[in-house]
A and B are shown apart, each in its own frame.
Chain A
Amino acid sequence: MLGNGQAVALHIAAIRKWILVAKLGRAARNVLHALANPTRFLKLARPLTPLFFWVGTALALFGAWAGLTQTPPDYLQGESVRILYIHVPAAWLGMGGWSGVAVASLVYLIWRHPLASIAARAVAPAGALFAILCLITGSIWGRPTWGTWWEWDGRLTSMLLLFFVYLAYIALARADADRGGDGRVPALFGVAGTVLLPIIRYSVVWWNTLHQGQSIGLTSSKIDASMLWPLWFTLFGFTFFFAGIALMRMRTLLAQAKVEARMKRMAQS
């Protein structure tokens, strides 16, 4: 049993924690509002695009080289374990990309920042590419390891569904932009598609799948350190690469919107 003093101290600590969370939330909202200004965003995006892209490319290439030449083969999987160094980042970015689409869509639905809608549209093609790369590299790894290219198990099927959801989102966003829509329908779809993420994440727990369970966590890993280290390079490398590509695509959509608006103004005058 806690004494009165201890209970009060715990309550004060909990209140302080909530105040901190609220302050952080307000700070994040202020950053979002500040970045919603396209001029301010472009001032940041112009130098960050090549930085993210080249740092990401260098890290990913180094990680891939190290994964191919500097680590021992696995005692069970042999050399095919080296596919892990590209398969795991592809899976992370396939799912992370959709999280980006969902967060940007939610921001658009709440605050109606046009830049949020542009961010969601810019991230989707890169996310789709990494989702299909995850499926292809996983399939290539499965043939020598499981003896099959494909199995309709929970993890593989839900990842394939995510890829189709990406394609549907890209088509929907394009159709909405072409007919002059306000972007609300693709944004709702972006938020609704998030339901797939926990299904993919927990598919190996909920169902008896051929795909192995989680082997890498935030604090621990079942993979030996001698084989794990190149993965951090490819993971961070591909993430920076992805960010660089997303910025390029956002700049493209912003420039296209600018041209379209000017053409409309010129046609009216």
Chain B
Amino acid sequence: MNHWAFVTAAYVITLAGATALALQSWHAMRRAEAAAEALRKKR
């Protein structure tokens, strides 16, 4: 049995999950802080 296929799958899934979480969290933060800033300037 070739173990490298299993190793690669585990690393790719972890990388994909961590990247997706980071991108989603960063976009949500940017969007929310921009909305708060826009509302503050509007006042």
Contact = CB atoms under 8 A, between A and B. Distances in A.
**Chain A bound to chain B:** yes
Given A86-B14, A129-B21, A252 B28 contact: yes
Interface string B18-30: 1001100110110
A185 B20 CA distance: 29
Interface of A: 53, 60, 64, 68, 78-80, 82-83, 86-87, 90, 125-126, 129, 132-133, 136-137, 140-141, 143-144, 238, 241, 245, 248-249, 251-253, 255-256, 258-259, 262-263
Interface residues of B, number: 26
A143 B21 contact: no
Contacts of B9: 140
Contacts, number: 90
Nearest to A142: B6
A259 B39 contact: yes
Give the dominant DSSP class at B's interface.
Answer: helix
24 contacts: A53-B22, A78-B3, A79-B3, A79-B7, A90-B14, A125-B21, A129-B21, A136-B13, A140-B6, A144-B6, A238-B18, A245-B25, A248-B26, A249-B28, A249-B29, A251-B33, A252-B31, A252-B32, A255-B29, A255-B33, A255-B35, A256-B32, A259-B39, A262-B43
Contacts of A90: 14
B13 A133 contact: yes
B39 to A, nearest CB: 5
A77 B24 CA distance: 36
B25 A252 contact: yes
